[in-house]
A and B are shown apart, each in its own frame.
Chain A
Amino acid sequence: MLSNKRFVLKFKEFLIEKLLFLCSLLSVFTTIGIILVLSFESIKFFKEVPITKFLTDTQWTPLFINKHFGILPLLCGTFLTTLIAISVAVPVGLISAIYLSEYASWRIRNIVKPLTEILAAVPTVVYGYFALLFLTPLLKKIIPSLSGFNALSSGIVMGIMIIPMVSSLSEDAMRAVPMGLREGAYAVGSSRLQVSLRVVLPAASSGITAALILAISRAIGETMIVAIAAGQQPRLTLNPLVPIETITAYIVQVSLGDTPHGTLEYRTIFVCGMTLFLLTFILNIFSYKLKKRFQEIYE
């Protein structure tokens, strides 16, 4: 009787273990599935459009009669908005991380940190309309030549969106710097600012870099803001005042339209998706490696 009960128990345990295992496999298989689909469709695309054309052509007009398939204008748009976003998020994010980690008292940190993280909970579509309907008109008063759709305001808003990510992850990295290091610096007569900038910041640099790379890859993949506020005109320019189009915004544009399944236009989505995936994938690997190195130093 007792052994029977134990058998049932063991069997239950076995079932649960397998179930949990399957659940964890699910996400792995999804990733593999996505990569496979992207690869298949991309290969079909490159059978019709040579890869050299794809990488060197300076025009992206797959939906026009005169078709060009150069990824550069889209890459340029993504690069431009990301650059603007980073130049907003890095200074603000880092300064707030330094404040929270080195200056703020325990009580202030416990109030401010959750508040900044609320920024991360705002839906991106809200940010998008914020850029289009609030920031752009505001900036137009300062820069009259600004178009209604532009890289500048979407980049800035994207930057605001990733501030919590930069500040929170950088703060974690800075707080992981051992207290002994700070004491050593204070003991030779450093001021608080000197300790923060000359000892803690450099010591946390690989963790902070990892945070920045994650933020960059988030900016590259960001879709809603640029789809709403940056425009739909792929062009090879670094001028932040005119409408552009990012890779992600293009995917939205075509996915929403009535492009027939299986055509070349349809496949451009997958090629764009593949490009995006590769970009963020490489960045994430970098970030992961840096983070690991950081942990090795202090453990």
Chain B
Amino acid sequence: MIRQLNAFYTDKEVLKGINIDILSNSVTAIIGPSGCGKSTFIRSLNRINDLIPGFRITGEVIYRDKNIYDKDVDVDDLRRRIGMVFQKPNPFPKSIYENIAYGLRIYGINEKQKLDEAVESSLKKAALWDEVKDNLNRNALTLSGGQQQRLCIARALATEPDVLLLDEPCSATDPISTAKIEELIYQLKQNYTIVIVTHNMQQAARVSDQAGFFMLGELIEFGKTEDIFKAPKDKRTEDYITGRFG
């Protein structure tokens, strides 16, 4: 649940009073033209924006009855429970196995058996296991772009989060990989709460249950995906969806 969220880079306001209720075990899509603040929005949900100098935020992001921006929140722990996948696949320059084991190792889990199990189950959930199970020691950078992105999803799943944030996960992948990732999102929905940012309207329509349309830092419209696409209430949403701009 998000209440009155405002975000700034130095003094430029990029998000203006956003209010959204994100339902658990469903897919929420965030759509909108470039520069509308949708990336800033999703990056505020696991506080990864804190890394950017000059970033400031007001308002509340309520997760498990607690505002994640409260002072006593353990940010590292928060990020472990709210996983994130980025626009550009960013596997570590390590082996496939170590990429996934990383999240557990930094948590102090080093037993081989536990790591093996986590690697296998994460890769299976990310639908990558069959393609890589025979060479887990291969360097992750030798995988194709689509495989790298699924590896990043597996890496995010390894720490057993309950929310998964996907920031334009398919912007750098080919159509076949995109289809695989969409299929994957559909599967993962049963166990995870998913928020996905996309500029691909068909994708939003295909994968999401609810959708929010952002423009110039404002949330223009939010509701069931069906309603947004079939009967948008706001003229601007309609114009964007029908491709009149953006």
B106 and A194 contacting across the interface, CB-CB below 8 Å: yes
A203 and B92 contacting across the interface, CB-CB below 8 Å: yes
At the interface, yes or no: A281 with Cβ under 8 Å from chain B?
Answer: no
At the interface, yes or no: A144 with Cβ under 8 Å from chain B?
Answer: no
B86 and A186 contacting across the interface, CB-CB below 8 Å: no
Q: Tally of A-B residue pairs with Cβ under 8 A?
A: 69
Kindly provide the distance from the CB of A135 to the nearest chain B CB, expressed in whole angstroms.
40
**Docked complex: A180-210 residues within 8 A CB-CB of B:** 180-191, 194, 198-199, 202-203
Q: Which residue of chain B lies nearest to A204 when distances are taken between CB atoms in the complex? A: B93
The answer, among A181, A182, A187, for a CB contact under 8 Å with B79, is A187
User: Can you give 14 contacting A-B residue pairs, CB < 8 Å?
Assistant: A180-B88, A181-B92, A183-B84, A184-B90, A184-B92, A186-B48, A187-B79, A188-B158, A189-B79, A189-B80, A189-B103, A189-B159, A198-B102, A297-B141
The answer, among A181, A190, A202, for a CB contact under 8 Å with B106, is A190
Kindly provide the distance from the CB of A202 to the nearest chain B CB, expressed in whole angstroms.
7
The answer, among A105, A106, A185, A186, for a CB contact under 8 Å with B92, is A185
At the interface, yes or no: B46 with Cβ under 8 Å from chain A?
Answer: yes
User: How long is the Cα–Cα vector from A198 to B88 in the complex, in angstroms?
Assistant: 21
The answer, among B76, B93, B102, for a CB contact under 8 Å with A297, is B93
At the interface, yes or no: A178 with Cβ under 8 Å from chain B?
Answer: yes
B93 and A191 contacting across the interface, CB-CB below 8 Å: no
At the interface, yes or no: B91 with Cβ under 8 Å from chain A?
Answer: yes
A106 and B141 contacting across the interface, CB-CB below 8 Å: no
A184 and B155 contacting across the interface, CB-CB below 8 Å: yes
Residues of chain B at the chain A interface (Cβ within 8 Å):
46, 48, 51, 53, 76-80, 83-84, 86, 88, 90-94, 102-103, 105-107, 141, 152, 155-156, 158-159
Kindly provide the distance from the CB of B226 to the nearest chain A CB, expressed in whole angstroms.
31
**Tier of interface size on chain A:** 20 to 34
B48 and A183 contacting across the interface, CB-CB below 8 Å: yes
Kindly provide the distance from the CB of B240 to the nearest chain A CB, expressed in whole angstroms.
28
- Other A-B pairs, 17, CB within 8 Å; known A106-B53, A184-B91: A105-B53, A180-B88, A181-B93, A183-B51, A183-B84, A183-B86, A184-B90, A184-B155, A186-B51, A186-B79, A188-B103, A188-B106, A189-B80, A198-B105, A202-B94, A297-B93, A297-B141
User: How long is the Cα–Cα vector from A191 to B105 in the complex, in angstroms?
Assistant: 12
B76 and A189 contacting across the interface, CB-CB below 8 Å: yes
Kindly provide the distance from the CB of A102 to the nearest chain B CB, expressed in whole angstroms.
11
The 4 lowest CB-CB distance pairs between A and B, nearest first, are A189-B80, A188-B103, A180-B90, A187-B84
User: How long is the Cα–Cα vector from A188 to B160 in the complex, in angstroms?
Assistant: 10
B107 and A189 contacting across the interface, CB-CB below 8 Å: yes
A188 to chain B: which residues have CB within 8 Å?
A: 79-80, 83, 102-103, 106, 155-156, 158-159
Q: Which residue of chain A lies nearest to B52 when distances are taken between CB atoms in the complex? A: A179
A186 to chain B: which residues have CB within 8 Å?
A: 48, 51, 79
**Docked complex: A200-228 residues within 8 A CB-CB of B:** 202-203
* A198 touching B106 in the complex, CB below 8 Å, given contacts A183-B90, A188-B155, A188-B158: yes
B155 to chain A: which residues have CB within 8 Å?
A: 184, 188
B106 to chain A: which residues have CB within 8 Å?
A: 188-191, 194, 198
Kindly provide the distance from the CB of A30 to the nearest chain B CB, expressed in whole angstroms.
40
B91 to chain A: which residues have CB within 8 Å?
A: 184
* A182 touching B51 in the complex, CB below 8 Å, given contacts A188-B79, A189-B77, A203-B92: yes
